[in-house]
Structure 1
Amino acid sequence: MLFDNDKIRIGPTGVKKDLFFMKGRANTLRRGKRFEIPEYLSSMGLNAYEFSAGRMAKFSDSPIYEKFRVNSKKFNVAISIHAPYYISLTSETPETYEKSIERLARTYAWAVWLNAKRIVVHPGTYGKSKMKRNLTQMIIDGINSSITLSKNLYPNIKEKFKEICLCPETMGKLGQIGSADEIIEICNEVGTNKTRPCIDFGHLYTRNIGKIIGKNLYMPVFEKIEQNLGKNIVENLHIHYSKIEYTGKGEKMHHSNDSSWGPNIEPLFKIIKEQGYKPIIINESPELETDATKLMDIWKKMS
């Protein structure tokens, strides 16, 4: 089925420039050498990569993106994109809300240009609203509007948008919309032919102030997704992972995967192996591809 994975895939969200230099690649990642990233990751035994839109607001196709999508296929690296961080589908300011819809719509085009099949997005914050249901509906409406707008903005490639799913992400701060239940509800309302969850287990760990660990952090989430969205969805999830420091308000700071903070990856890998899941796992620690390689090594030893 569309969006299904052939196997578990692991990779980073970005690459560290110093390591990229050591491999004899580009003089800089900003001068037209990003297309070498799939080959670079493949040489490290990795097979996924999340391209961060970060704070970029304008997108256009280019020869560099063409080389990137060719290389992603050649080296069998699954590509996803993280939509701009300043998107807010719960903003009470109409202009901000509409611009968020437009930026998300334009990210669909960038996904096509980069051969990405998944777009990760932060839904928004609670703000001052006491009506959680109204905020959830704003997100649902915003996603549907962005899908419609993307087709109007890019009619020449709109058919390819059917190959892309939007992945609302679970969030780590208590002021952000993004519990597992909220993300499941959003995906259920929009439809699993257009969306599926991005489950960031580091975020869920900090959202629970580190109180839920081990198998008890992971398995209930998988069970909820299967019950509400279906077996096929839980088998092919998009997962973010890193160890994260927290405060009483949730997420504070990402750490390397050697840190004493949680969550630990081994219980997650054990469940994936036992259940036969085939997720894409994106490492978000500061050590990027180095820690992603360590995750891949742990997975190979356990599987």
Structure 2
Amino acid sequence: MPKIFLGPAGIPLSSRGKGSVDGVKRVKELGLNAMEVEFVQGVKMSVSTAKELGEVSKEMGVRLSVHAPYYINLCSSEREKIDASKKRILDTAERAHAMGADAIAIHVGFYGDYTPEECYSMVRASMGEVIDQMREKGIDSVKLGVETMAKETAFGTIDEVIKISKELKGVIPYIDWAHTFARQGGKIDYGEILDRVVKELGLTHVNSHFESLKLRNGKYVDVHEPIERNSPPFEPLAKEILKRDLSISLICESPRLEEDALIMKKVLESLGYRL
């Protein structure tokens, strides 16, 4: 039987307090069991606050992951931007470690002036340096998750994230199912991807995002929509997860956050799974 961790990307919209500790408590009240802590606008949480958050999440039985800042580009043609990006990843990792989060979702970069192959080499080198710095600081429990991306200008095809995860210990795919669906022209084989990351990488836990995307001029674009849009549909993914004995985090990135996470929970329950 799989072990599923389901919850919102960030503090639930219905949370009475605005802090992450309040958010974790609300996640528990809602009957969910995961939350992604959002550092997308910058790492503004202190290490001591991260430790406090970790204690509360452990007490509540809520699994934490983290999203790194958006201002990261390891394929920049400017050295200072790459160095700043690496620092943002390391700062995120320090907080993730302090709160006991298992993984960080990272938008690693855009091809820009480089070919996908050149960008891959740059990302691999920088991620390797960050992992070395993490080890020096004793940060050994946090995985760097390279997120699959929707835009064709961005590093993050399913093949790229699996390849770099094979080559760098401490790096994993952070699968955004909708991004991958868009990148593949509105098609996705959930079972094939789950089997690949388990068989090729030996993962015991899969980190992922779920939401729907907007269809614009016949093409899916990276504008997040409620999951009722079915682009992609959730139920087929739920069925593929339930066929397998695996552990997975499903972080809802719909604009409705916990409301749609609860719809996802209902779908799982209709298929016989209880969180």
The alignment partner of 2:7 has SS state of strand
Map of 1:292 onto structure 2 = 261
- Counterpart mapping for 1:1-303 below 5 A: 7-17=3-13, 19-21=14-16, 26=17, 29=18, 33-57=19-43, 59-62=45-48, 64-130=49-115, 132-151=116-135, 158-159=137-138, 161-191=139-169, 194-210=170-186, 212-213=187-188, 217-230=189-202, 233=203, 235-247=204-216, 250-259=220-229, 261-303=230-272
Q: Give unpaired runs (5+ residues) of structure 1.
A: 153-157
Q: In 1, are the aligned partners of 2:10 and 2:36 still within 8 Å (CA)? A: yes
The change in CA–CA distance for 1:52 and 1:293 in structure 2 (over 3 A counts) is: same
Q: In 2, are the aligned partners of 1:49 and 1:80 still within 8 Å (CA)? A: yes
Amino acid at match of 2:237: L
After superposing the two structures, state which structure 1 stretch, 174-183 or 273-282, moved more. 273-282
Amino acid at match of 1:68: L
The change in CA–CA distance for 1:255 and 1:221 in structure 2 (over 3 A counts) is: same
Note the alpha carbon deviations across 1:159-196, whole angstroms, 9 max, x for none. Answer: 3x1111111110011111111000001111112xx122
Q: Give unpaired runs (5+ residues) of structure 2.
A: none
The alignment partner of 2:222 has SS state of strand
How far, CA to CA, are the matches of 1:264 and 1:170 in structure 2? 17
How far, CA to CA, are the matches of 2:265 and 2:107 in structure 1? 26
The change in CA–CA distance for 1:7 and 1:54 in structure 2 (over 3 A counts) is: same
TM-superposed deviation, 1:220: 2.1
How far, CA to CA, are the matches of 1:245 and 1:167 in structure 2? 24
How far, CA to CA, are the matches of 2:34 and 2:100 in structure 1? 12
How far, CA to CA, are the matches of 1:79 and 1:6 in structure 2? 18
Amino acid at match of 1:56: G
How far, CA to CA, are the matches of 1:56 and 1:47 in structure 2? 25
TM-superposed deviation, 1:76: 0.5
How far, CA to CA, are the matches of 2:44 and 2:261 in structure 1? 29
How far, CA to CA, are the matches of 2:196 and 2:3 in structure 1? 22
The alignment partner of 1:46 has SS state of coil
The alignment partner of 1:198 has SS state of strand
Note the alpha carbon deviations across 1:40-87, whole angstroms, 9 max, x for none. Answer: 10111100000011121455323x433311110001000000011111
How far, CA to CA, are the matches of 1:57 and 1:36 in structure 2? 18
TM-superposed deviation, 1:290: 1.1
Q: In 2, are the aligned partners of 1:240 and 1:281 still within 8 Å (CA)? A: yes
Q: In 1, are the aligned partners of 2:212 and 2:254 still within 8 Å (CA)? A: yes
How far, CA to CA, are the matches of 1:49 and 1:75 in structure 2? 11
Cα-Cα RMSD? 2.0
Amino acid at match of 1:202: A
TM-superposed deviation, 1:274: 1.0
Q: In 2, are the aligned partners of 1:174 and 1:249 still within 8 Å (CA)? A: no
The alignment partner of 1:239 has SS state of strand
Map of 1:155 onto structure 2 = none
Over the matched positions of the two proteins, sequence identity in percent amounts to 29
TM-score by length of 1: 0.84
Q: In 2, are the aligned partners of 1:79 and 1:117 still within 8 Å (CA)? A: yes
The count of aligned residue pairs is 271
TM-superposed deviation, 1:112: 2.0
